[in-house]
């Protein structure tokens, strides 16, 4: 604060709403003569210290404070801005500008920590004299004379050693800071840096923790209690000892009254006012743990752990809090139903992941039945065979070749193929054969032999190529049994691949992060979708038409949700993995059921009978308020031509 501002303030009227009305209280308390002596002494001591500073050549340059950025907590939000969790190291901090901090808190802090802040030049000679006398009598440093400026430089630049040399360095740096920065700048840095207890650094985070409100909304009773914490945050914490906190609060209020900044009656009323104390926020568990784990995994692909936990990022996810809750509830309910139906495998698990086909944003992700018991995110980390839910990739490749369509006939009869390990003879589920049938009928009834036959005719390498275009990066080998799901992949890969079918061939990289900014609003990442057409529209629309039949009249009838939807069941050998993956134009969802140790789930366990009902339950809730949309008709697009061999 400039000297002219101080003079203007001395001539102003006292007002409880005036942020600097305490100045008149300081003047009244000190007295005119005492104040003049104090200011003169301040100037003399300051001048002496500036001269002495020549010997402190190794002290840091205080001008670096202009670019100083203390570690800040990063925040993760859902798509609507609801806070999901905080990411931070030791320091849980959110920096704010001085105008976003309650005037009551500023006054309370000044009263108890440095009532002459706007009158000294970094050090307070009266306090120094008193501290020197006490320390000389004790033979060591037992009492400080720290102003707010001295506390600031100590916290940022110096160690906490209680030595005379450290205290002298502190004083020198404080004078330097006062020469470079305005009072308001110093106050802002101080209030954003000091420790308030329970890993809370800075007024904003402390206010959120102690009173569940921003620092700008703190009233006098709350501000007095928070100001009282600075000297010994854990000792005076209302979380640890409410009675101690109230006693300390009274000291702050009494000090404010002594200075004339509030009346004794206001102090008494404030002390008697009950406080709605919150709870520690620094180490609270995430409200949606599978979401935040997925966010962390994606962040770590670009940012270091230090940047994530100290960079003050604001991370907007693509997940809606309530849809995610419905997904978790669906999985928990589905698990109980499976147990009641006799699935007794020891480590039974369910994963569910939903992707928006229009953006390829992840809308819900559940990696297991109980996060507290197991933090493994099976939706992104577990590689499992997809069984017959892989067949749509085979038939899409056939349609895109120009040689086949839904009505093309394939023979469902015994076949054998020789590979490197001997003779391979695929079998249908149940062991029967249906003879000549259309591809549409073969896929609707999930016949195995037609899928293998078509795979051999078009080449499994072509099928792998389609999978890569759909974003499936898990290892796949061009083996004869690949069309039956011989490769391993994650539920997220399956949901995202089917999302490209739902968008009629448009693909984007899947992500759970929509946007990242720093604490000042600068954009660090913008994941606005950049879709690319990776599939042939006619072939994709034709496949969707066939997959609709799976739900209306095939193996996926238990997935019928009363609106146009397409999907496919999947059941692997020995019932180790069962799936249902399906979509509507605005949402693609994969449900996987299995055992963590890959044990068989039990005879008769199928994707249609066990996974499809869970899919139906989730989709019914997720689409409750969504309009019914129609898929593209294949007739709107030209059929691909057969490519001639060169």
pLDDT tens column, 469-498? 999 999 999 999 999 999 999 999 999 999
Choose one of 272, 291, 316: the last residue of a domain: 272
Q: What is the pLDDT of residue 28?
A: 37
**Is residue 385 domain-shared with residue 511, that is, in the same domain?**
yes
Q: What is the pLDDT of residue 145?
A: 62
Of 388, 389, 446, 481, the catalytic one is 388
CA dihedral 363, 369, 372, 376 (to 10 degrees): -70
**Is residue 265 domain-shared with residue 363, that is, in the same domain?**
no
Rg (CA), the chain: 34
Mean pLDDT calculated for residue range 598-613: 94
Of 113, 170, 222, 298, the catalytic one is 113
- Give the separation between CA 406 and CA 214, rounded to whole angstroms: 61
Q: Tell me what percent of the chain is helix, strand and coil, each rounded to the nearest 5.
A: 45, 15, 40
373 — pLDDT class (breaks 50, 70, 90): very high
**Is residue 399 domain-shared with residue 263, that is, in the same domain?**
no
Mean pLDDT calculated for residue range 424-429: 91
Span 555-587, pLDDT tens digits? 999 999 999 999 999 999 889 999 999 999 999
**CA atoms lying within 13 Å on the CB side of residue 72:** 19
Phi then psi dihedrals of residue 625, to 5 deg: -110, 15
Distance of alpha carbon 77 from the chain centroid = 6
* Residue 288, in any domain of the structure: no
DSSP class of residue 639? Answer: P
Question: Which CATH number belongs to the domain containing residue 531 in this structure?
Answer: 3.40.710.10
Q: Is the pLDDT of residue 12 over 50?
A: no
**Is residue 255 domain-shared with residue 349, that is, in the same domain?**
no
What one-character-per-residue DSSP string does 504-553 give?
TSEE---BSEEEEE-TTS-EEEE-----EE-S-HHHHHHHHHHHHHHHHH
* Residue 242, in any domain of the structure: yes
Beta bridge partners of 384: 489
**CA atoms lying within 13 Å on the CB side of residue 569:** 33
Sheet holding 92-93, edge to edge: 92-93, 200-201, 195-197
- Give the separation between CA 5 and CA 14, rounded to whole angstroms: 15
Active site residue 416: no
**Is residue 466 domain-shared with residue 604, that is, in the same domain?**
yes
Beta bridge partners of 22: none
Please check whether residue 174 is in contact with residue 123, taking contact to mean a CB–CB distance below 8 angstroms: yes
Q: What is the pLDDT of residue 154?
A: 87
Choose one of 272, 288, 305: the last residue of a domain: 272
Q: Which residue has the higher pLDDT, 534 or 33?
A: 534
127 — pLDDT class (breaks 50, 70, 90): low
Please tell me the least confidently modeled range out of 109-113, 159-163, 508-512, 611-615: 159-163
Q: Is the pLDDT of residue 223 over 90?
A: yes
136 — pLDDT class (breaks 50, 70, 90): low
Domain count, the chain: 2
Q: Which residue has the higher pLDDT, 470 or 16?
A: 470
**Is residue 488 domain-shared with residue 560, that is, in the same domain?**
yes
Residues 426-432: contacts with CB under 8 Å, at least 24 apart: 426/452, 426/480, 426/481, 426/484, 429/571
**Is residue 32 domain-shared with residue 181, that is, in the same domain?**
yes
* Residue 85, in any domain of the structure: no
* Residue 55, in any domain of the structure: yes
- Give the separation between CA 645 and CA 639, rounded to whole angstroms: 19
* Residue 302, in any domain of the structure: no
Mean pLDDT calculated for residue range 132-147: 55
Span 230-269, pLDDT tens digits? 989 988 999 889 999 999 999 999 999 999 999 999 999 9
Q: What is the pLDDT of residue 35?
A: 41
Identify the domain containing residue 422 by its residue range.
325-636
Q: Is the pLDDT of residue 37 over 70?
A: no
23 — pLDDT class (breaks 50, 70, 90): very low
Q: By percentage, how much of the chain surpasses pLDDT 90?
A: 68
**Is residue 227 domain-shared with residue 341, that is, in the same domain?**
no
DSSP class of residue 636? Answer: G
Q: Is the pLDDT of residue 507 over 90?
A: yes
- Give the separation between CA 587 and CA 568, rounded to whole angstroms: 15
Output the CA torsion sign for 326, 331, 337, 340.
negative
Q: What is the pLDDT of residue 111?
A: 92
Q: What is the pLDDT of residue 431?
A: 86
β pairing state of 435-438 and 532-533: unpaired
Closest by Cα among 506, 496, 26, 558 to 259: 26
Q: Is the pLDDT of residue 1 over 50?
A: no
Q: What is the pLDDT of residue 643?
A: 75
Neighbours of 372 (CB within 10 A): 7
What one-character-per-residue DSSP string does 383-441 give?
-B--GGGGHHHHHHHHHHTTS--TT-EEEES---EEETTEEE----TTS---EEEEHHH
User: What is the separation, in whole angstroms, between the first and last Cα of the chain?
Assistant: 83
Question: Which CATH number belongs to the domain containing residue 196 in this structure?
Answer: 1.10.3810.10
Output the CA torsion sign for 296, 301, 304, 310.
negative
Q: What is the pLDDT of residue 34?
A: 39
- Name the 3-class secondary structure at 608: helix
**Is residue 540 domain-shared with residue 428, that is, in the same domain?**
yes
**Is residue 186 domain-shared with residue 333, that is, in the same domain?**
no
Q: Where are the alpha helices (DSSP H) in 53-124?
A: 103-113
- Give the separation between CA 612 and CA 568, rounded to whole angstroms: 9
Q: What is the pLDDT of residue 56?
A: 57
Distance of alpha carbon 585 from the chain centroid = 27
Span 313-358, pLDDT tens digits? 999 999 999 999 999 999 999 999 999 998 988 899 999 999 999 9
Mean pLDDT calculated for residue range 440-449: 97
- Name the 3-class secondary structure at 352: strand
Q: By percentage, how much of the chain surpasses pLDDT 70?
A: 86
- Give the separation between CA 460 and CA 598, rounded to whole angstroms: 26
282 — pLDDT class (breaks 50, 70, 90): low
Number of helices (H) and strands (E), helices first, in the chain? 23, 19
**Is residue 353 domain-shared with residue 476, that is, in the same domain?**
yes
Please tell me the least confidently modeled range out of 51-65, 382-396, 455-469: 51-65
Q: Which residue has the higher pLDDT, 216 or 173?
A: 216
* Residue 316, in any domain of the structure: no
Q: Is the pLDDT of residue 17 over 50?
A: no
Q: What is the pLDDT of residue 16?
A: 36
* Residue 310, in any domain of the structure: no
* Residue 346, in any domain of the structure: yes
Active site residue 388: yes
HEC letters along 202-234: CHHHHHHHHHCCCHHHCCHHHHHHHHHHCCCCC
Closest by Cα among 347, 381, 577, 368 to 484: 577
Q: Is the pLDDT of residue 97 over 80?
A: yes
**Is residue 246 domain-shared with residue 342, that is, in the same domain?**
no
CA distances to 264, 321, 335, 348, 487 from 341, in Å: 71, 30, 10, 13, 29
Please check whether residue 588 is in contact with residue 355, taking contact to mean a CB–CB distance below 8 angstroms: yes
Q: What is the pLDDT of residue 89?
A: 76
31-35-38 Cα angle (round to 5): 145
- Give the separation between CA 2 and CA 185, rounded to whole angstroms: 12
CA dihedral 369, 559, 561, 406 (to 10 degrees): 140
- Give the separation between CA 542 and CA 156, rounded to whole angstroms: 65
Choose one of 230, 252, 272: the last residue of a domain: 272
Q: Is the pLDDT of residue 40 over 70?
A: no
- Name the 3-class secondary structure at 592: strand
Distance of alpha carbon 156 from the chain centroid = 29
Please check whether residue 318 is in contact with residue 359, taking contact to mean a CB–CB distance below 8 angstroms: yes
Q: Is the pLDDT of residue 429 over 80?
A: yes
Q: Is the pLDDT of residue 44 over 80?
A: no
Q: Is the pLDDT of residue 609 over 70?
A: yes
- Name the 3-class secondary structure at 18: coil
Mean pLDDT over each residue of the chain, to the nearest integer? 87
- Give the separation between CA 203 and CA 186, rounded to whole angstroms: 14
Neighbours of 47 (CB within 10 A): 12
DSSP class of residue 273? Answer: S
**CA atoms lying within 13 Å on the CB side of residue 474:** 19
């Amino acid at each position: 604060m400039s000297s002219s501002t101080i003079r203007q303030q001395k001539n102003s009227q006292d007002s409880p709403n005036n942020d600097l009305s305490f100045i008149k209280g300081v003047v009244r308390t000190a007295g005119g003569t005492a104040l003049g002596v104090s200011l003169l002494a301040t100037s003399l001591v300051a001048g002496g210290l500036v001269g002495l500073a020549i010997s402190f050549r190794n002290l840091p340059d205080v001008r670096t404070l202009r670019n100083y950025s203390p570690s800040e907590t990063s925040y993760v939000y859902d798509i609507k801005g609801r806070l999901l969790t905080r990411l931070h190291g030791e320091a849980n901090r959110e920096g704010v500008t001085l105008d976003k901090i309650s005037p009551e808190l500023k006054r309370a802090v000044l009263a108890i920590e440095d009532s002459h802040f706007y009158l000294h030049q970094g050090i307070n000679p009266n306090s120094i004299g008193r501290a020197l006398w006490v320390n000389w009598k004790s033979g060591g440093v037992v009492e400080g004379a720290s102003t707010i400026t001295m506390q600031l430089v100590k916290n940022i630049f110096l160690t906490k050693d209680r030595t005379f040399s450290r205290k002298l360095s502190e004083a020198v740096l404080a004078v330097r800071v006062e020469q470079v920065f305005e009072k308001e700048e110093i106050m802002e840095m101080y209030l954003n840096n000091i420790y308030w207890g329970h890993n809370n650094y800075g007024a904003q985070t402390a206010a959120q923790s102690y009173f569940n409100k921003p620092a700008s909304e703190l009233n006098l009773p709350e501000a007095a209690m928070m100001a009282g914490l600075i000297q010994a945050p854990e000792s005076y914490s209302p979380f640890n000892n409410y009675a101690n906190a109230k006693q300390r609060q009274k000291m702050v209020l009494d000090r404010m009254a002594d200075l004339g900044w509030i009346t004794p009656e206001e102090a008494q009323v404030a002390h008697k006012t009950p406080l709605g104390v919150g709870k520690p926020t620094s180490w609270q568990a995430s409200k949606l743990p599978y979401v935040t784990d997925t966010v962390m995994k994606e962040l770590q692909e670009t940012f270091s752990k230090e940047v994530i936990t100290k960079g003050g990022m604001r991370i907007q996810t693509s997940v809606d809090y309530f849809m995610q809750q419905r997904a978790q509830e669906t999985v928990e309910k589905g698990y109980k139903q499976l147990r009641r139906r006799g699935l007794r495998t020891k480590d039974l698990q369910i994963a569910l992941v939903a992707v928006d086909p229009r953006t390829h944003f992840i809308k819900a992700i559940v990696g297991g039945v109980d996060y507290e018991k197991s933090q493994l995110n099976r939706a992104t980390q577990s590689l499992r065979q997809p069984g017959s839910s892989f067949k749509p990739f085979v038939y899409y490749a056939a349609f895109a070749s120009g040689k086949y369509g839904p009505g093309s006939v394939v023979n469902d009869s015994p076949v054998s193929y020789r590979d490197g390990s001997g003779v391979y003879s695929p079998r249908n589920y149940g062991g029967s054969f249906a003879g000549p049938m259309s591809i549409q009928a073969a896929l609707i009834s999930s016949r195995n032999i037609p899928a293998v036959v078509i795979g051999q005719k078009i080449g499994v390498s072509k099928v792998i190529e389609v999978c890569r275009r759909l974003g499936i990066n898990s290892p796949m080998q061009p083996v004869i049994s690949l069309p039956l799901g011989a490769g391993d992949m994650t539920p997220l890969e399956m949901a995202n691949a089917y999302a490209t079918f739902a968008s009629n061939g448009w693909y984007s990289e899947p992500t759970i992060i929509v946007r990242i900014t720093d604490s000042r609003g600068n954009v660090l990442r913008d994941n606005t979708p950049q879709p690319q057409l990776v599939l042939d529209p006619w072939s994709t629309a034709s496949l969707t038409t066939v997959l609709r039949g799976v739900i209306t009249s095939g193996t996926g009838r238990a997935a019928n949700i009363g609106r146009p939807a397409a999907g496919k069941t999947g059941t692997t050998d020995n019932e180790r993995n069962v799936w249902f993956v399906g979509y509507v134009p605005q949402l693609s969802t994969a449900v996987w059921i299995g055992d963590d140790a890959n044990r068989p789930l039990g005879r008769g366990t199928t994707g249609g009978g066990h996974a499809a009902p869970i899919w139906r339950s989730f989709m019914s809730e997720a689409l409750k308020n969504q309009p019914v949309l129609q898929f593209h008709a294949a007739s709107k697009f030209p059929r691909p031509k057969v490519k001639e061999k060169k």
